[in-house]
Structure 1
Amino acid sequence: MADSLAPLGRMDSTKKHSYRQVVRKESLTHQRITNTQDWWSDWKSMFKYKNSVVPETLPPTILFTLFSAAVVAIYEESQWVRDMLPNSTLLISILGIVMGLLLVFRNNTAYDRYYEGRRLWASLQTQARNLTRLIWFGVVPKDEHDEIQKRGAMNLVMAFISSTKNYLRGEYQWDVVDVAPYLAHMEGYSSEGHAQQDVNEQLVLPIEISFHISAYINAAKAAGQIDASLQSSMASIVSNMLDLFTSFERVRNSPVPFIYAVHLKQTLTMYLISLPLQLAPSMGWTTIPVVILASFTLLGIESISGQIENPFGIDENDLPMDDYCDELRDELTRVMMRPAKITPDDWHRPWDDISTHATQGTLNQVAMAIAQDEIAKRRNELIQAGQDGDATITVSVTATADK
């Protein structure tokens, strides 16, 4: 297994997520959120092929273009065809209204599912953060065995997140690279286990993991490591996580009805076929570029709806759930590198000039003094550890002048 997928709490403290030896670059300037996309960047994105609808819409667009070219050519050469085709656009006008309503409804429904998936995943992240916070800072182990169980419970939270992601993608096994390390401390989930096949045939893995988390909470209460109020809070969070898992299933297993998707494709095909038949008498060869634009636009909207309808897949335009899991894994790892007990007894005198007279320049001066003091402390720690403090610490402090 890669180091980044090692069970939580077993990562080497010298790795990139070390709590004490890594100092991120800080900026004390007032940050403003701005739109980083300029006109030129947006213009260049027009020519992107990957992650666009071009691969799916290009083949049917070519077919409709060839059909329109054939219709125009026959119309220009055959007097019989010219007499047969009506010089009216009433049909495409009526179909155009219907097509607009169908495409709007289809696209809105698909994006609602995409947004709902992202909202549910953010809620699951919040519940996981709350549960790990209560476990790590609320459970008071009495001996080394209790400490091991506590770290195992933290691993189970991460296993729940990763197994939920895999379940939504149709991957139901536990012995996968982003789940197995976090279940290795449990009987039946290790390489030495004797019931691996039976475990695979048990309940849905996230639900199975939630049972073990609940069992740990009850055991911690029975051992006197948590009180009744904390047990109730943790049990409520586990219940919320299961509710979110059920909501994920609802989004994944309730796609747009197949009959609706088929009817939309049929109506779209009829519209694009009738387009050159209605435009050829009035537009001639100009009908061909019009059909190209109409085909690419309408087929592209329909293709976008199909791609984002299931946001939990592995396509380029689906939710980056692997990144979400990696970020949460790193966050939980950093939590377990912190001391399990935090007390305000070690606090210094707080800065009490929180008045309307405090200017930005004053704030910067105080912040720079605090940062310089922190740099000196960490440099001394690194020097005592036998490292080069100046080469290890990189802190950028910029201040804005008081205006």
Structure 2
Amino acid sequence: MVRKYGTTVHVSRRWPLMMRLKGTVIPQIWWQVLLTGVYSGAVFCISEYSGWKMGYTLNLVTVMGMVVSLLLVFRTNTAYDRYWEGRRLWSQMTLCIRNMTRAIWVCVGETETRDLLEKKSAINLLIAFAYSTKHYLREEYGYDYDDMVDLLTHLPKYSLPTSVQPMDWRMDIPPVSLDALSPTSAQFPQQQQQQASSSTGAPGTTYGEGGRARRQSKVEHALAFDYLTPTNIPVELSYYIGSYIKSCGAKGKVDASTLTLMNNNLVSMLDCLTGFERILRTPIPLAYSIHLHHATWIYIFALPFQLVATMGPLVVIATMLTAFTLLGILSAAYEIENPFNDDYNDLPLDDFCKVIQAEVASMVATRAPVPSDWIFSEDNYPLAQSDLSARELSALSLDQIHALMASPSPQDHPGRRSVQLQYSRSVRGNTPSANAYPASASSSALTKINSVNSSREK
């Protein structure tokens, strides 16, 4: 079941997993399980009423069961490897976006208003890269989607009105190859060929649902260069992001190490995109899939003949349960083979993109942190040997700080933080109290702190 665009699927938790229907493959295999029940029922009727006693041994069941099990395990592992690889690549891309956002917002210099606007615009392109990758993997070509159109309208190419574009037929292929792969072009009259080619297609093509070109050929040919992707927005965004990185280096707004970090993360983002394309456009070999289906159905069809003599009418239930198990595993493997769609068992790319956008928005909501603002705070107690804050410790000399650090640390106990705050307040009020210091502190550390406070009073 396909979920609504831009929403999150929450499967009801009121029922146990065994009683759930959403997210299962039952809607895809129920008619096949019912077909095996009718088939096994017919086998039972023939054995019961025709006088044909089917007392076969279980050798075929044992041998075929082992072979089918190995094939199904291999098929499931292959599908899950693709699923896990897609999740790993998306995590890698998320890491790169986080690093890029941190490098741009914190490390790029900011001296005027233009610098801030450039930084924010470049970070918006990082968010748009995640959203455009999601739509690109779902074969949703175009930029006018609600979640990313506002992030791209300022770019020159995407500032004009457009819509979701269909895949165009390549016009740079030599006519010889088209004629060789399209035997209908020689059979149809010239008038029919011109009608089939339409405005942008090549001779011998038709246009189905969605405007996608389909070759008129009795022989199926799958060529990677037959169709031209109308736009690859993630790749195009990488050019804009790369131009910003180059401008930062040319203006001297960032140091060399950060510039290298930003370029490396941009390369990693494109590497993740290429990995996504590898998963999306590398299906399981057709011969292997067909043979697996043949072996599974041969095993299911042979099962009633070997069980009917011992199980009687229960052979119908046994066959249906076996078909449900084997066909369910087979359908589940096909369900997760492409993890980039938007059904229940695919990766929640919508949620991943929203998480990235929320994290980035929270990072750039305030100005980049300045170390002096958070280090020299009254609530920062950097030394375990002292209950003085960093602001108070900054008034001491370097030798005094080293003397405090060389003293043994007091043992922590549940009331240590409250005692520390009490001691800090007494120091700020110029009323030092030795009783406020933790009782577990060593006498040497207490003596040094009291001497420091006495020197401050003088």
TM over 0.5: yes
> How far did 1:58 drift?
1.0
Q: How well do the aligned residues superpose, as a CA RMSD in angstroms? A: 2.7
Partner of 1:171, secondary structure, is: coil
Query: Which of 110-119 and 134-143 deviates more?
Result: 134-143
Amino acid in the other structure paired with 1:358: D
Contact 2:82 2:339 in 1 (8 A): yes
Distance in 2 between residues matched to 1:277 and 1:300, nearest whole Å = 22
**Is 1:97 matched with 2:66?**
yes
C-alpha deviations, 1:15-65, integer Å up to 9, x for none? xxxxxxxxxxxxxxxxxxxxxxxxxx7972211111112111211000001
Return the offset for 1:365. Answer: 5.8
What corresponds to 2:243 in structure 1? 215
Q: Which residue of 2 aligns with 1:16?
A: none
Counterparts in 2 of 1:87 and 1:177: CA distance versus 1, 3 Å: same
Structure 1 residues 308-334: Cα deviation after superposition (integer angstroms, max 9, x where no partner):
111111111000010000011011111
**TM-score calculated relative to the size of structure 1:** 0.74
| Counterparts of residues 144-155 of structure 1 (less than 5 Å) | 144-155=113-124
Which residue pairs with 1:110 in the alignment?
Answer: 79
Q: Does the 8 Å CA contact 2:245/2:263 hold for their aligned counterparts? A: yes
How far off its partner does 1:244 sit? 1.0
Which amino acid is 1:298 matched to? L
Residue 218 of structure 1 deviates from its aligned partner by 0.8
Give, in angstroms, the shift of residue 103 of structure 1: 0.4
Cα distance, 1:202 vs structure 2: 6.8
The one-letter code sitting in structure 1 at the alignment partner of 2:152 is L
| 2: CA distance, partners of 1:202 / 1:168 | 14
| Structure 2 residue 268 is the aligned partner of structure 1 residue 268 | no
Contact (CA 8 Å) 2:142, 2:231: kept in 1 or not? no
Map of 1:387 onto structure 2 = none
Structure 1, gaps ≥5 residues long:
6-40, 371-403
Q: Which aligned pairs between 1:24-43 and structure 2 lie closer than 5 A?
A: none
Cα deviation per residue 1:319-355 (whole Å; 9 max; x = unaligned)?
0010000011011111110212421454234254496
Percent of counterpart pairs with the same letter? 37
> Is 1:330 paired with 2:330?
no
Matched, 1:251 2:279: yes
The answer to whether 1:350 aligns with 2:322 is no
How many angstroms apart in 1 are the aligned matches of 2:95 and 2:355?
13
1:50 corresponds to which letter in structure 2? Answer: K
Cα shift readout 1:138-162 (whole Å, capped 9, x = no counterpart): 1113322222111110111011111
State the match for 2:44 in structure 1. 72
Q: 2:108 and 2:301 mapped to 1: Cα distance?
A: 68
Counterpart in the other structure of 2:389:
none
1:50-199 to 2 correspondence within 5 Å?
50-79=22-51, 81-82=52-53, 85-191=54-160
Distance of aligned partners of 1:334 and 1:366 in 2 relative to their CA distance in 1, 3 Å threshold = farther
How much has 1:185 moved relative to structure 2? 2.2
1:282 aligns with 310
SS at match of 2:57: coil
Aligned to 2:425: none
What SS is found at the alignment partner of 1:256?
coil
Q: Is the 8 A contact 1:152 1:185 kept in 2?
A: no
| Alignment-mate amino acid for residue 44 of structure 1 | P
The 8 Å contact of residues 109 and 254 in structure 2, kept in 1 or not, is answered as yes
Task: Tell me, yes or no, if structure 1 residue 48 matches structure 2 residue 17.
Answer: no
- Shift of residue 173, structure 1, vs aligned partner: 1.1
Shift of 1:248: 1.0
- How far off is 1:253 after superposition? 1.1
Unaligned 5+ runs, structure 2: 1-5, 7-12, 167-227, 386-408, 423-458
Counterpart residue identity of residue 277, structure 2: E
CA 76–101 in structure 1, closer or farther in 2 if over 3 Å, else same? same
Distance of 1:203 and 1:253 partners within structure 2: 16
Relative distance call for 1:282 and 1:107 in structure 2 (3 A) is same
Residue 348 of structure 2: which of 302, 311, 320 is its match? Answer: 320
CA distance in 1, matches of 2:62, 2:415: 66
2:19 is paired with a residue of what secondary structure? coil
Of 314, 320, 324, which aligns to 1:296?
Answer: 324
Retained in 1: the 8 A contact 2:138–2:340?
A: yes
Q: How far 1:87 sits from its partner (Å)?
A: 2.5
Give the secondary-structure state (helix, strand or coil) at the position aligned to 1:46.
helix
Distance 2:62 2:327 in 1: 18
Tell me: CA distance 1:106–1:364, structure 2 relative to 1, closer, same or farther (3 Å): farther
Give the direction of change, closer, same or farther, for the CA distance of 1:192–1:268 in structure 2 (3 Å limit): closer
Q: How many angstroms apart in 2 are the aligned matches of 1:98 and 1:92?
A: 10
Change (3 A) 1:63 1:366: farther
Number of equivalent positions: 322
How far residue 201 of structure 1 moved from its aligned partner, in angstroms, is: 7.7
**CA distances 1:163-216 after superposition (whole Å, capped 9, x unpaired):** 1111111112122222211112222322579xx99xx98752111100100100
Whether the 8 Å CA contact 2:56–2:305 is kept in 1: the answer is no
Deviation at 1:300, TM superposition (A): 0.7
**8 Å CA contact retained: 1:87, 1:282:** no
How many Å separate the matches in 2 of 1:278 and 1:68? Answer: 11
* Contact 1:142 1:225 survives alignment (8 Å): no
Instruction: Compute the displacement of 1:128 (Å).
Output: 0.4
1:79-127: per-residue Cα shift (whole Å, max 9, x none)?
1x21xx3431111111101101000000011111111111110111000
Deviates more, 1:183-192 or 1:116-125: 183-192
C-alpha distance 107-135 of structure 1, shift in aligned 2 (>3 A): same
